[in-house]
Structure 1
Amino acid sequence: MSDRPDIRTLGELRAAGLPHRSLRQEIRENLLRVLAEGGDPWPGLHGLGRTVLPQLERALLAGHDVVLLGERGQGKTRLLRTLSGLLDEWSPAVEGSELNEHPEEPLTQETERRVLLEGDELPVVWRHRSERYVEKLATPDTSVADLIGDVDPMRVAEGRRLGDPETIHYGLVPRANRGIVAINELPDLAERIQVAMLNVMEERDIQIRGYVLRLPLDVLVVATANPEDYTNRGRIITPLQDRFGAEIRTHYPLELEDEVAVIRQEAELVAEVPDTILETLARFTRLLRESPAVDQRSGVSARFAIAGAETVAAAALRRAAIRGEPDAVARMVDVGTATDVLAGKIEFESGEEGRERPILDHLLRRATAETVRERFRGLDLGPLVAAFDGRTTVTTGDDVAAQDFLGSLPPVPADGEAGEGSPAEPGGGVYDEIAARLGATTPGQRASAIELALEGLFLAQRISKDSDEEGTVYG
């Protein structure tokens, strides 16, 4: 953050020659500058660069109010919050003004009077761009007073007339003057509240209890909504929808790499989670979005995979604490724990009642198999299969330490035939190849890589697997 400008009065502001721009002009010029410099106006957003973001940029350059339509977890709110980055870092305002009026463009009679009386000595304050972005979650109990304003009875009691603008207690939208107003879940607003927004969106004035205040508010209104075929809680009334200059449909990441990038960026991981685990969770999420058993009108949020990654990391941290491991590293055995707590985040079709867990398990197996094929393509795992001679088994589980798991693996020397050796250490033949393919160096990373290979061999029906509450046995 740069230093706040050292300008304290209207006279100093005029002497500095800083130009006054409207909000839309400010956003337009700043966006054009970033694009011309080859910068990224939308940091932290993945998978929208060829679709949603160009549409949004065109809308902002045109000066349009915007509504984003999309299912839950598509990054709509995050996208709106990045809009503040297109504002000037510091912006002047009249000190004490409820409406954040620009010193050279007063809106209210009170501020006009102050400009006449105080002249160049009128105090000026500076607002950071973060203060000019206001967000409101629409709820059914939101009132007109919350958004627009109401008559303040205390000011009336002081002797002011009801028609006096100074009796008004301004709501969220007027107080956001010269800034951005974001309304999340717009259809949740009662229709009569949406009607109160009509004048703000078009004429830029406000009406309070029959009094019309001609305030040329300089605000950009942006909103989010779920598609009408999904939400049963309400709708955007047609006149209000017509006042949004741009209606943009969002979507989930189209590429697997973007899905993984979102998880890695948003998840707060308390342990190391290898990329293969994140990739499996991302594939799992994408398969759920394609499944006919899942209600696709509600969508499968990106938060599903994010919460899954956090749960997997927590399982690894718990095991490390119990077993005294120096490093907590997530393994395939931890992924199953995620489905135990994530099932409630998915809405299934009505005909699938009672089959929710089998569906999740089936899709997770598919996601794991796809990851194994992608990661181990061309790698000969035959020696590992041969090491399971019908009597040898390997046990893993939530509470099995990485070193214990590695130490129980059947020896497979470099020549590929079962024999003596220590698979937990370098020189373990195919185990080294598996670890090298995934860049695994520590015991925890090696255990995670080898568990993935074993699970892939089971899914390919080359080895067996038995699971119960005590653990998982490959053989």
Structure 2
Amino acid sequence: MPVDLSHPPRTLAELRNAGWRSKTVKQEVHDNFLARLKSGEELFPGIVGYDDTVVPELCIALLAQHDLLFLGEKGQAKSRLMRRLVDFLDPAIPYLDDRKIPLHDDPFRPITSRGRMLVNGTPADDVPIAWWRREDRYAERLAPGTKFADIIGEIDPAMLAAGVSMGAEEALHFGLIPRMHRGLFAMNELPELDELVQVGLFNILEERDVQIRGYPVKFDIDVMILFSANPATYNRSGKVIPQLKDRIGSIIHTHYPLERALGVEILEQEVDSIADPGLRDADSDQGTPQSETRDPQPVVVPFFMKELVEEISRAARESKYVDHESGVSARLSIANYRTMIASARRRAAVLGESPAVPRISDLGHLYASSLGKLELDLMGSHQMSERQVLDAVIAEAIATVFSEYVDEHGLAEIAEVFSQGVKIEVGDMLPSRHYAELLQRVPPAWDKAFEVNASEDAAVRASCVEFVLAGLYATDRISRSQSHGRIMYET
């Protein structure tokens, strides 16, 4: 029965009179999830590209009331999915408000000796009740470096010094999992967890109790346990003990966006959550720069530049030079996008242009945000450095996206311009008027370039020019030379 949380019960007697009933945390998640499923509400806001793959399997696992393992490569929203499960908890649940009780004990089903003594030996009107909010009922831990005492517990030396027996409940200092009794606990990168800690987790999954240093102090712990892991390490023999694997109820397999459009949608969602309000698409109705009071340096982003940033990550995932088992996180796209925007802002600020519009030449700064995020396939026969691999990946991404625009807009005609000996210099710090002046001296075929992203803005048109030039070079239609941060395109 729902409780009015604007005036929640504050004693055990009031709680009973309000009609509140105990539930296990998995039953609570099950009931709330089922209610949302029936109502047609969005189940996992912010999760893109999983509607037909991951979400159906996750729905079934939640209704089956399983402990879960999210299995996938880095940057596949495993942690985000785990954190979203908090949405299926009640807004708040009651617990015994006693500082001597080390966890949030259920007033109707206390598992600690102190909780049972309080409930059984005190009039219900005098048993204090407090409320545990939904957002506080989730905790997570990264496996590397995690010790048994961190998540299970340890004997408290202070209690031993006070004369408490090592086998007594009061002698224990609880770790994260016992303290998340009636909540959700997530362990990231399970295969990196020490075997001793894995055994402790196995005991909790199997018996739902805590055993510390051989003292079997029994607790009926109520916790939903979530794990994440990379397939390469999870499936490696000896990394996860078989008994623990056997006790995990469901494995939810995640994946990277199956289509570039979904990747761009994720990119837009993530960047919009951290970016300035001036970030706008050049081809959208929101392309008009905002007032100086709201955004002193507005940014307009041609859509093809977003496609390129996402395609770089997709090309890296397919590259024979990159370790496929490690994966390429969506964080690569996000970091590269931010770097590209920063380069455009720098140019606009120095040259006094507005709005700032990213160009292909801004991608020359992606080394800073990309190196370290690509793990090379060291078993291959290539001798390429990470920087060389990134150059190859960027070139492949440009060629892929450009080829699609060639088919749509007939941009191949522009290559004929260079047969007449035309040379065009580009660079990340050249003003937009430089491009406008160049285009006055070349044939009208260049007008087709601006069909890529229709705009009369000189900065947007400069971005289109660089895209076409880089595309022609990437598809071997023209050549280029590079010196001191500037690039010269020619036949």
When normalised by structure 1's length, the TM-score is: 0.89
Q: Who is 1:304 aligned against? A: 332
User: How far is the alpha carbon of 1:131 from its aligned partner?
Assistant: 0.4
Q: Who is 2:376 aligned against? A: 348
Q: 2:186 aligns with which of 161, 182, 185?
A: 182
Cα distance between partner residues in 1 of 2:138 and 2:42: 19
Render the CA deviation track for 1:412-457: whole Å, top value 9, x for unaligned.
6xxxx55xxxxxxxxxx853x5445425453332322232122223
Specify the code of the residue in structure 2 equivalent to 1:147. Answer: I
What SS does the aligned partner of 1:345 have?
A: coil
User: How is 1:52-131 mapped onto 2 (pairs within 5 angstroms)?
Assistant: 52-96=54-98, 97-116=101-120, 117-131=122-136
Specify the code of the residue in structure 1 equivalent to 2:252. Answer: I
Tell me, yes or no, if the aligned pair for 1:376 and 1:437 is still in contact at 8 Å: no
Tell me, yes or no, if the aligned pair for 1:387 and 1:411 is still in contact at 8 Å: no
Q: Who is 1:472 aligned against? A: 487
Cα distance between partner residues in 1 of 2:170 and 2:267: 50
The range that moved more, 9-18 or 100-109, is 9-18
Q: 2:425 aligns with which of 391, 395, 406?
A: 395
Q: Who is 2:393 aligned against? A: 363
The answer as to 2:240 corresponding to 1:239 is: no
Tell me, yes or no, if the aligned pair for 2:406 and 2:412 is still in contact at 8 Å: no
Tell me, yes or no, if the aligned pair for 1:394 and 1:409 is still in contact at 8 Å: no
The answer as to 2:134 corresponding to 1:134 is: no
Percent identity over the alignment is 38
Tell me, yes or no, if the aligned pair for 1:402 and 1:444 is still in contact at 8 Å: yes
Going from structure 1 to structure 2, the CA distance change for 1:215 and 1:440 (only over 3 Å counts) comes to farther
Going from structure 1 to structure 2, the CA distance change for 1:5 and 1:294 (only over 3 Å counts) comes to same
User: How far is the alpha carbon of 1:61 from its aligned partner?
Assistant: 0.8
Specify the code of the residue in structure 2 equivalent to 1:76. Answer: K
Render the CA deviation track for 1:10-57: whole Å, top value 9, x for unaligned.
222222223322111111111111111222221111222222221122
User: How far is the alpha carbon of 1:171 from its aligned partner?
Assistant: 0.9
What SS does the aligned partner of 2:93 have?
A: strand
User: How is 1:390-469 mapped onto 2 (pairs within 5 angstroms)?
Assistant: 390-411=420-441, 417-418=443-444, 430-431=446-447, 434-440=449-455, 442-469=457-484
Cα distance between partner residues in 2 of 1:164 and 1:232: 39
Q: 1:10 aligns with which of 12, 21, 37?
A: 12
Specify the code of the residue in structure 1 equivalent to 2:74. Answer: R
Q: Who is 2:305 aligned against? A: 277
Cα distance between partner residues in 2 of 1:328 and 1:299: 32
User: How far is the alpha carbon of 1:252 from its aligned partner?
Assistant: 1.2
Q: Who is 1:421 aligned against? A: none
What SS does the aligned partner of 2:409 have?
A: coil
Q: Who is 2:348 aligned against? A: 320
Cα distance between partner residues in 2 of 1:230 and 1:59: 20
The answer as to 2:214 corresponding to 1:203 is: no
User: How far is the alpha carbon of 1:384 from its aligned partner?
Assistant: 4.4
The answer as to 2:254 corresponding to 1:256 is: no
What SS does the aligned partner of 2:211 have?
A: strand
Tell me, yes or no, if the aligned pair for 1:84 and 1:132 is still in contact at 8 Å: yes
Going from structure 1 to structure 2, the CA distance change for 1:144 and 1:406 (only over 3 Å counts) comes to same
User: How is 1:36-47 mapped onto 2 (pairs within 5 angstroms)?
Assistant: 36-47=38-49
What SS does the aligned partner of 2:371 have?
A: helix
Going from structure 1 to structure 2, the CA distance change for 1:49 and 1:297 (only over 3 Å counts) comes to same
User: How far is the alpha carbon of 1:238 from its aligned partner?
Assistant: 0.7
Tell me, yes or no, if the aligned pair for 1:149 and 1:170 is still in contact at 8 Å: yes
User: How far is the alpha carbon of 1:370 from its aligned partner?
Assistant: 2.1
Cα distance between partner residues in 2 of 1:385 and 1:149: 69
The range that moved more, 237-246 or 85-94, is 85-94
Q: Which runs of 5+ in 1 are unaligned?
A: 419-428
Cα distance between partner residues in 2 of 1:220 and 1:230: 20
Query: How many residues in Structure 1 have an aligned counterpart in Structure 2?
Result: 458
User: How far is the alpha carbon of 1:279 from its aligned partner?
Assistant: 0.9
User: How far is the alpha carbon of 1:411 from its aligned partner?
Assistant: 4.8
What SS does the aligned partner of 1:375 have?
A: helix
Tell me, yes or no, if the aligned pair for 2:191 and 2:233 is still in contact at 8 Å: no
Render the CA deviation track for 1:300-332: whole Å, top value 9, x for unaligned.
222222221111112112212222223222111
User: How is 1:147-226 mapped onto 2 (pairs within 5 angstroms)?
Assistant: 147-226=151-230
The answer as to 2:37 corresponding to 1:35 is: yes
Specify the code of the residue in structure 2 equivalent to 1:53. Answer: V
Cα distance between partner residues in 1 of 2:158 and 2:189: 33
What SS does the aligned partner of 1:247 have?
A: strand
Going from structure 1 to structure 2, the CA distance change for 1:133 and 1:469 (only over 3 Å counts) comes to same
User: How far is the alpha carbon of 1:355 from its aligned partner?
Assistant: 5.1
User: How big is the alpha-carbon RMSD for the aligned residues of Structure 1 and Structure 2?
Assistant: 2.6
Going from structure 1 to structure 2, the CA distance change for 1:391 and 1:90 (only over 3 Å counts) comes to same
Cα distance between partner residues in 1 of 2:156 and 2:475: 72
Render the CA deviation track for 1:130-161: whole Å, top value 9, x for unaligned.
10011011123x22221111221212333333
User: How is 1:286-297 mapped onto 2 (pairs within 5 angstroms)?
Assistant: 286-297=314-325
Render the CA deviation track for 1:240-278: whole Å, top value 9, x for unaligned.
111101122221111111111222222345654432112
Cα distance between partner residues in 2 of 1:470 and 1:365: 17
Going from structure 1 to structure 2, the CA distance change for 1:91 and 1:222 (only over 3 Å counts) comes to same
When normalised by structure 2's length, the TM-score is: 0.86
User: How far is the alpha carbon of 1:462 from its aligned partner?
Assistant: 4.2
Cα distance between partner residues in 2 of 1:441 and 1:37: 47
User: How far is the alpha carbon of 1:211 from its aligned partner?
Assistant: 2.0
User: How far is the alpha carbon of 1:405 from its aligned partner?
Assistant: 2.6
Going from structure 1 to structure 2, the CA distance change for 1:4 and 1:388 (only over 3 Å counts) comes to farther
Cα distance between partner residues in 2 of 1:53 and 1:175: 29
Specify the code of the residue in structure 2 equivalent to 1:283. Answer: E
Going from structure 1 to structure 2, the CA distance change for 1:262 and 1:198 (only over 3 Å counts) comes to same
Q: Which runs of 5+ in 2 are unaligned?
A: 277-298
Cα distance between partner residues in 1 of 2:202 and 2:474: 58
The range that moved more, 12-21 or 130-139, is 12-21
Specify the code of the residue in structure 2 equivalent to 1:6. Answer: H
Specify the code of the residue in structure 1 equivalent to 2:158. Answer: M
Cα distance between partner residues in 2 of 1:93 and 1:329: 55
Cα distance between partner residues in 1 of 2:410 and 2:249: 58
Cα distance between partner residues in 2 of 1:182 and 1:145: 16
